[in-house]
Amino acid sequence: MTALPLKILYVHHGSGMGGAPQLLLTLIRALDRSRFDPLVWCIRRSSASAYFESHGIPVIYESNVTPFLHISDGFYGFAHPHRVAFMLAGQWRSYRTARRLFDHVSPDLIHINSVVLPGVLLAAARTRRPVVLNVLECVHPGYLGLRRALLQLLSKRCADAFIFMLPSEARRWHLEHHPRAVCLFDFISPPPSTPPKSSLRREFHVADNIPLIAYFGRFTQAKGVHLLLHALGLLRARGIPFHCLLVGPLPPQSPPSFSSHIARLLGRRPYLALLRQLIAQFQLHNYVTFTGERTDVADLVPQCDILVVPFTEPHFSRLCGEAALAARPVVAFNIDGPGEEIIDGVTGLLAKPFSPTDLADKLEILLTHPALRHQLGAAARQHAANFFDADRNVRAVLSLYSTLLPTPPLSHPHPRSTFSLHS
């Protein structure tokens, strides 16, 4: 007789290759498979789900789920009442879908990797199995704070334990002293010591003597890439040499619709179109390159000289930890998230919030002082060992699991069943 591994079902909400799937994969790969049997539920097929599968992680799919986006980079207000209504209506469908899936999979623990799935969270609580909620995002305050209060109330009632990525968000939830709440910046493994598989400079024709700046992430208003381009325009005007790579998935071109026509009449345009306009306005065509989505981030970060995180809304930044472990300094606005992960003047530089001029000033300091870049990078690597290290932070999560899970029963190993709600 052998101990039957405890089945943990991870619920992943996203589609792109951002920090969330990388964080989750690092956690799952660290599990002792003799004790834990992990399975990931992805609500859509995407580069993120393919990423899990490429590393041998079992994935099941069920897309009949609607995220409720009320977070720092996904807030819908008075201008989009139809979207808010659609997301609210979708929670009942999400709840029913999740109940059927949980009944079929019968996990010993459910780990939900986001706060944007309240219908799924409620269904998880009804299974009477332990539920861990990973608070990746900062909940948006909204206009009156009503939606935030309801999301937090539901989460507190349904989840048994919490993993916060930022101390500031734990305080906003009033859970900073909760016995089953931990605050961990990320789970990041040291970059590979082997030579990178691809050369960024060679791939994008950047000379060795030109400092290389990079932004990694999606292209949304809350990510602040428009402010970064303003800052880069100032640097170009000052005659500072650099090249900046914008690394992330480019939004697909959608066919014209009635709402898009109305948006254009109101002077609104897709965010990517705004970025391209700024590149033309500041004459940055030879200074900025969109790379598209990449899955080899661990190879790319050490090849950059400076990383930049221009977020305009509170949000944890995986890039801060990846840069620190690679001994690379980060420049960011001093807001919750990057402002908690970076020690100003020690591991990186923090600019005045949303000031392109100050962001340009901070970038110029590092662009023109290679020795300072090296000094900050070395300090960042030391800092990373205490805050971002995967082994350290995974142990904290496993300790949290141990307070929720029973001792594995003795039984013969069982085969994994396949799942489909529609079979």
In order, the DSSP letters of 267-312 are T---HHHHHHHHHHHTT-TTTEEEEE--S-HHHHGGG-SEEEE--S
Q: Per-residue confidence of the chain (423 residues) as pLDDT tens digits? A: 456 889 999 999 876 667 788 888 889 988 999 999 999 999 888 888 888 999 999 999 998 998 888 777 677 776 777 888 888 889 999 999 999 999 999 999 999 999 999 999 999 999 999 999 999 888 888 777 888 899 999 999 999 999 999 999 999 999 999 999 999 888 887 766 666 666 889 999 999 999 999 999 889 898 999 999 999 999 999 999 999 999 998 866 545 444 444 445 445 678 999 999 999 999 999 999 999 988 788 889 999 999 999 999 998 888 999 999 999 999 999 999 999 999 999 999 999 999 999 999 999 999 999 999 999 999 999 999 888 888 888 899 999 999 998 765 444 344 333 334 433
| Pair 177, 278 in one domain | no
Q: Let me know if residue 421 belongs to a domain.
A: no
Domain shared by 382 and 407, yes or no: no
Q: Is 402 left (phi over 0), alpha (psi -120 to 50) or beta?
A: alpha
Tell whether 297 is covered by a domain: yes
**168 C-beta neighbours (distance < 10 Å), count:** 19
Write the CATH number for 26. Answer: 3.40.50.2000
Same-domain status, 400 and 377:
no
Is the residue at 418 inside a domain?
Answer: no
Rounded Cα distance between 377 and 320, Å, is: 11
Strands of the sheet containing 330-333, edge to edge, are 288-292, 243-247, 212-216, 306-309, 330-333, 348-351
Q: Are residues 148 and 52 part of one domain?
A: yes
Residues 134, 254: one domain? Answer: no
366 inside domain: yes
Within this chain, do residues 299 and 161 fall inside the same structural domain, yes or no? no
255 and 319, same domain (yes or no): yes
Per the structure, the complete domain to which residue 318 belongs is given by 200-386
26-37 pLDDT, tens digit each: 899 889 999 999
Instruction: Work out how many domains the chain is built from and give that number.
Output: 2
Do 270 and 175 sit in the same domain of this protein?
no
Say if residue 291 is in the same domain as residue 339.
yes
